[in-house]
Amino acid sequence: MKLNVTIQPLFLISRFKTLPDPTKFLKLENVTYSWSGPSFFELKIADLNLARSETVLLLGESGSGKSTLLSLICGTIVAESGCVNVAGTDLSALSAGQRDRFRAEKIGLIFQQFNLLPFASVQDNILLPLKFAPERRNRLRDLKLEAKRLCHDLGLHDGAMSSKACNLSVGQQQRVAAARALIGSPPFIIADEPTSSLDAATQATFLELLFAQSRTHGTTLLMVSHDARLANQFDRVINMEDIAQTTRGAIV
Ligand code: ADP
Ligand code: MG
């Protein structure tokens, strides 16, 4: 009985092994990265997998390498060894320009510091990633209407669309950053401590929008937080200390 169950998948795997495994949307294998300079920090991740559509909360202490890990997954920094595979693409096989285009198309990013263009309008900030992501743009019929819908869903009033980003409150800027990440439904949303500056009610609305996006579009969500109380809302929780080996110290 056990033999039948195991032989069949092995046969299938060997026939189709060149195809990416759809259950492994994100795969990291034996990845290392080190920041040099006055405070040396090395991060090693032996194995990390995320399934397509999975919602995952990454918990860890400040300085444990969470943002470094997200940068490796986004391809803004490149692993010194090992493999980072996102949606079937090995990031180390791409040039810097290809990685930028891949990121714009596949990943909606919400940064801890928002990274909005301060003097651009809310609408222009939200539409910005579509300039570099034709697939995301082509999913939409009316770009401005979609920007407005996202703002509305996130609790930003319509009048805010023409405001400059720098004239918004911190909580409002956070919501613009979320709308910018969600527009055009990229398959992967990565959020680095996005709820840290939101009050409890706004945080709940914000998270619900991310989960709704995952349910409707099969989006994979990886969110970093230090707030373990959010854990039961996610499919899975990963603790940094369980997946990462770190070394730190001054270089002499
Ligand atoms: P976390 O997001 O968990 O707080 P980070 O990944 O931001 O952790 O940082 C982990 C360590 O990596 C820091 O303590 C620092 O030593 C180093 N580090 C992070 N970013 C940089 C950088 N841009 N330049 C140099 N060192 C950095
Ligand atoms: Mg961080």
Residue to mutate, 33, 35, 70, 76, ligand 1, most ligand atoms under 8 Å from C-beta: 35
Mark residue 94 as left, alpha or beta (left: phi above 0; alpha: psi -120 to 50; beta: remaining): beta
Give the residues surrounding ligand 1 with Cβ less than 6 Å away: 35, 37, 39, 41, 60, 62-68
The ligand that comes nearest to the alpha carbon of residue 69 is: 1
Label residue 128 exposed, middle or buried (CB < 10 Å: 0-12, 13-18, 19+): middle
Cβ neighbours of 121 (radius 10 Å): 18
- pLDDT tens for each residue of 2-29: 444 444 444 443 333 334 455 689 999 9
Cβ neighbours of 226 (radius 10 Å): 14
Q: Atom 13 (ligand 1): residue with closest C-alpha?
A: 63
- Taking the mean position of all CA atoms in its chain, how far away is CA 78? 16
3-state DSSP call for residue 128? Answer: helix
Structure confidence at residue 6 (pLDDT): 42
Tell me how far the alpha carbon of residue 246 lies from the centroid of ligand 2, in angstroms. Answer: 15
Element (H, E) at 175: helix 170-182
b or e along 30-65 (b: 16 or more beta carbons within 10 Å of the residue's beta carbon)?
Answer: ebbbeeeeeeebbbbbeebebebbbbbbbbbeeebb
- pLDDT tens for each residue of 184-236: 999 999 999 987 777 788 788 889 889 998 899 999 999 999 888 899 999 99
Of 232, 235, 193, 240, whose CA–CA distance to 218 is shortest? 235
- pLDDT tens for each residue of 78-129: 999 999 999 999 999 999 999 999 999 999 999 888 889 999 999 999 999 9
Q: What is the pTM of this model?
A: 0.88
Structure confidence at residue 3 (pLDDT): 41
The reply to whether CATH 3.40.930.10 applies to domain 25-249 is no
Of 180, 164, 179, 75, whose CA–CA distance to 128 is shortest? 180
> What DSSP state is assigned to residue 93?
G
Q: Atom 22 (ligand 1): residue with closest C-alpha?
A: 35
